[in-house]
């Protein structure tokens, strides 16, 4: 079985986001970048499936400029077998990425696609669902447990009422939630080996995919600052305050 894992280069989750003074976007100069955490969880799950003998190869793919090769090499150091970068410096929107991944799937012919449930920079949570629609493949999203058996994927996914269990037939698309696993720590020898591994480069023309933007970002601004809290002397005072705010009647 072949597994394809899609990853995205994002600002590291430990970094405090700063908005450009002109509101045109987020400041990226000199900022630490990492693999999107949910994508890293998806990659870890693929590696564990291979370690169990349930998969033969893992290909990791990203749609980005050359700077994303750092994240691809991290994925190779974790245990991916092949790395593929679709070269573009255009803004990445979910439907465009889904179309690129559709072309990659037709080229690589994987049996299972693992992705993060969302990217932490835009929080769209759309690409896995759009890709499933384009390919007409079954999908299971927000997965917190995964098992493979006899051409089926059995998953548990978190919903408002608790856990929902589903079975989908391969080939399928799975998006990983936070509690699916904890990604491994990458060792220095593996990092050194990954530096010597080749990364295949494709262009949008190679895949015959047009990346026309579907959305226009008008302005980026930080959320309004929180009002300072106050200590109240009694429950009665709290109730009075809540009534004045309109929370209680």
Burial classification of residue 162, based on how many CB atoms lie within 10 Å of its CB (0-12 exposed, 13-18 middle, 19 or more buried)? exposed
Residues 124-166 pLDDT 10s: 999 999 999 999 999 999 999 999 988 999 999 988 888 899 9
Q: What is the SS3 assignment for 62? A: strand
- Measured CA to CA, the distance from residue 165 to residue 143 in angstroms comes to 9
Quote the CA–CA distance of 75 and 81 in Å, as a whole number.
Answer: 9
pLDDT digits (tens, 9 = 90+) for 81-104: 999 999 998 878 899 999 999 999
- Which listed CATH number (3.40.50.620, 1.10.760.10, 3.40.190.10, 3.30.1490.390) goes with 2-222? 3.40.50.620
More confident residue, 65 or 217: 65
Tokens of 116: 């993060």
State how far Cα 188 lies from the chain centre.
Answer: 25
């Amino acid at each position: 079985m072949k597994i394809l894992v899609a990853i995205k280069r994002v600002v590291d989750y430990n970094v405090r986001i700063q908005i450009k003074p002109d509101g045109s976007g987020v400041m990226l100069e000199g900022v630490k970048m990492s693999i999107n955490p949910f994508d890293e969880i998806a990659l870890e799950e693929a590696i564990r499936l291979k370690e169990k003998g349930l998969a033969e190869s893992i290909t990791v793919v990203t749609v980005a400029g050359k700077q994303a090769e750092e994240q691809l090499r991290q994925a190779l150091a974790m245990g991916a077998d092949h790395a593929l970068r679709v070269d573009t410096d255009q803004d990445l929107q979910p439907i465009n990425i889904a179309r690129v991944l559709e072309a990659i799937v037709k080229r690589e012919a994987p049996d299972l696609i693992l992705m993060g449930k969302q990217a932490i920079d835009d929080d769209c949570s759309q690409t896995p669902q759009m890709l499933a629609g384009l390919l007409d493949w079954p999908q299971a999203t927000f997965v917190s447990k995964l098992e493979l058996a006899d051409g089926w994927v059995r998953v548990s996914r978190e919903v408002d009422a608790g856990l929902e269990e589903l079975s989908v037939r391969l080939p399928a698309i799975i998006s990983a939630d936070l509690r699916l696993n904890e990604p491994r720590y990458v060792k220095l020898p593996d990092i050194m080996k990954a530096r010597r591994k080749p990364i295949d480069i494709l262009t949008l023309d190679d895949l015959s995919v047009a990346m026309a933007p579907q959305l226009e970002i008008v302005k980026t601004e930080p959320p309004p600052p929180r009002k300072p809290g106050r200590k109240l002397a009694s429950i009665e005072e709290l109730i009075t305050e809540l009534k004045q705010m309109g929370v209680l009647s």
